[in-house]
Structures are given as C-alpha cells and as structure tokens.
Amino acid sequence: MPAFERHVFVCHNNRPADAPRRSCTADGKSELHTRLNQLAKEAGLGNRVRINKSGCLDQCEHGPMVVVYPEAVWYSNVRSEDAEAIVAEHLVGGRPVERLRLADECVNTKICPHRS
Amino acid sequence: MPAFERHVFVCHNNRPADAPRRSCTADGKSELHTRLNQLAKEAGLGNRVRINKSGCLDQCEHGPMVVVYPEAVWYSNVRSEDAEAIVAEHLVGGRPVERLRLADECVNTKICPHRS
C-alpha cells in the first residue's frame, strides 16, 4: 500500500496577539513548513513522506509544534533551523531528534511546568 | 503517556472554483469537522481523541478526506452525515468504517481510476 511512510503535521495556527494561549505562527505562514518540505524533497522523500499543514494541535504552550505519525513523535519549540535535523535524522535516518521532543509529561495535559 | 489515543485530521483545503484539483471544503469551513468534534465530546472522548483541522492531504480526487492516526486509516468522500458512524464505530468501537475507507490502490498514487 503506497501510503505515507511518515506524515508530518506542522501547526499553522495563529491567534490575536492578546489571546491567552500562544500561537504557532505569527501570520498563518510557516517557514518551518516550507523548509521541511524543501529538504524532504531534496532528500528524495517526495512521495513517501508528506509535510502537512495543520490547524491547532492543542499543545500551544510548547509551540511551534510538529507531530510525526504513525509514530506520534511530538516536537516542541521547533524553529525553521531545526528542519535539517528533523529531515536528516528522523525522516531519512529513522531516529527521532531527541533534543526537540516534547517531554512525555507535557503532551496533552492541562498541568505541566509550562502551562499556568 | 497521555498522548492522543487517536488523532483525526479533517482536510480544510479550498481552491478557486476553476482549479484543476478538487477542494475538500467550499470555503475553508467544515461542517464535518464540527460534527465529529461535537460527537467525540458527547461520547466522552474529549481528552483522548483530537479532531484536528488540516491543510491539503494530497488525496484531493477522493475528497472530502479524513485520515486517522496512528492507524493511518484513510476515509474518502466523507460527508457530515458520516460523522456519527466514524465516532461510534471507529473512535468509540475501534473498528474502522469500511464503507468509507479509501481503497488501498487509491491512496497516495498518481494513477487510479479517479485521477485523470
């Protein structure tokens, strides 16, 4: 079955500046998404990996957020400069980038050191 | 780890009326997404399942598209009336809704009976 080997979702949510929760993008555009896409194509992953835009992934306090399926690897505070490591180490090499992973105790919880 | 038991992505892409590929929504709004969200909450899945908005999932000819991770179950031609079956049978019952599944040979391919 020619489904995606990995499906990467990059949050594009943006809220008004005075919103209580943080936004993953300032204006709904993501240089991180563009860069991941470009690097994945350059690495020959074109049809095997999809770099997708997503709406809010509900981990806002840790954004900009990225989640990679089917493994459900959550990356937090991701910047466009991190795209290279994600593509080379994870999407090509198969090893998640540990330094970018959101701590297990911070995923999908209302109480963690980063949420007030 | 309190990650999502299931993460449902509902395509919200919309293109100009004369675009060569189809759009999954007419105006970037999805009654299907709203309905899935509402029914998942009513079923008590609030914190265990996330109904997400996504950008283009690149299966446009079969849209409106939905993909459910971590199983990577792809649903095609999904209408808001189908939300009930997806929530009751799949998200609650754990059995994908076979009648809505995109045929394996149509997932992520440039040649299938529905693409010209």
pLDDT 10s digits, B54-72:
999 999 999 999 999 999 9
Average confidence (pLDDT) over B27-50: 96
Q: Is the pLDDT of residue A116 over 60?
A: no
Output the pTM of the full model.
Answer: 0.95
Query: pLDDT category, A4, cuts 50, 70, 90?
Result: very high
**Contacting residues of A for B12, CB less than 8 Å apart:** 55
**Contacting residues of A for B76, CB less than 8 Å apart:** none
Picking from A57, A87, A62, A55, the residue whose alpha carbon sits closest to that of residue A72 is: A57
Average confidence (pLDDT) over A83-93: 98
Position B66 scores a pLDDT of: 98
Using an 8 Å Cβ cutoff, are A67 and A73 in contact? yes
* Nearest chain B Cα distance for residue A104, angstroms: 6
Using an 8 Å Cβ cutoff, are B25 and B37 in contact? no
In this complex, do A52 and B55 lie within 8 Å of one another by their Cβ atoms? yes
Position B112 scores a pLDDT of: 81
